[in-house]
Amino acid sequence: MAEKRSSLWGWLTRGVPANRQIEVVLDRRKGERRHRVEAVDEERRREDRRSPESGDLGELNGFLGEESQFKGDVSFRGALRIDGRLKGTHVRGEALVIGEGGQVDAEIQVERLQVSGYVRGNITAKRWVELLETSQVTGTIRTPRLTIWRGAVFNGTCEMPTALHHGHGAVQPEKEVAAPPNVHRE
DSSP per-residue string spanning 5-34: HHHHHHHHHTT--TT--------HHHHHHH
Tell me what pLDDT residue 52 has.
Answer: 56
Q: Which tens digits make up the pLDDT trace of 150-174?
A: 999 999 999 998 866 655 444 343 3
Q: Which tens digits make up the pLDDT trace of 74-104?
A: 999 999 999 999 999 999 999 999 999 999 9
Which is higher by pLDDT, 2 or 143?
Answer: 143
Kindly state whether residue 27 falls inside one of the protein's structural domains: no
Kindly state whether residue 182 falls inside one of the protein's structural domains: no
Kindly state whether residue 130 falls inside one of the protein's structural domains: yes
pLDDT at 105 over 60: yes
Domain that holds residue 131: 54-159
- Percent of the chain past pLDDT 90, that is, above it, reads 53
Tell me what pLDDT residue 59 has.
Answer: 78
- Structural domains in the chain (count): 1
CA torsion, ordered 143, 146, 151, 156, to nearest 10 deg: 30
Kindly state whether residue 83 falls inside one of the protein's structural domains: yes
**169 Cβ neighbours under 8 A, 6+ residues apart:** 109, 124, 142
CA torsion, ordered 43, 47, 50, 54, to nearest 10 deg: 160
Tell me what pLDDT residue 149 has.
Answer: 94
Kindly state whether residue 20 falls inside one of the protein's structural domains: no
> What residue type is 133 in one-letter code?
E
Exposure of 101 by Cβ count < 10 A (0-12 exposed, 13-18 middle, 19+ buried)?
middle
* Predicted TM-score of the model (pTM): 0.62
pLDDT (mean) for 116-135: 97
Kindly state whether residue 144 falls inside one of the protein's structural domains: yes
Q: Which of 65-74, 114-123, 168-177 has the highest mean pLDDT?
A: 114-123
Distances (CA, A) of 165 to 127, 135, 169: 10, 27, 5
Kindly state whether residue 134 falls inside one of the protein's structural domains: yes
Kindly state whether residue 178 falls inside one of the protein's structural domains: no
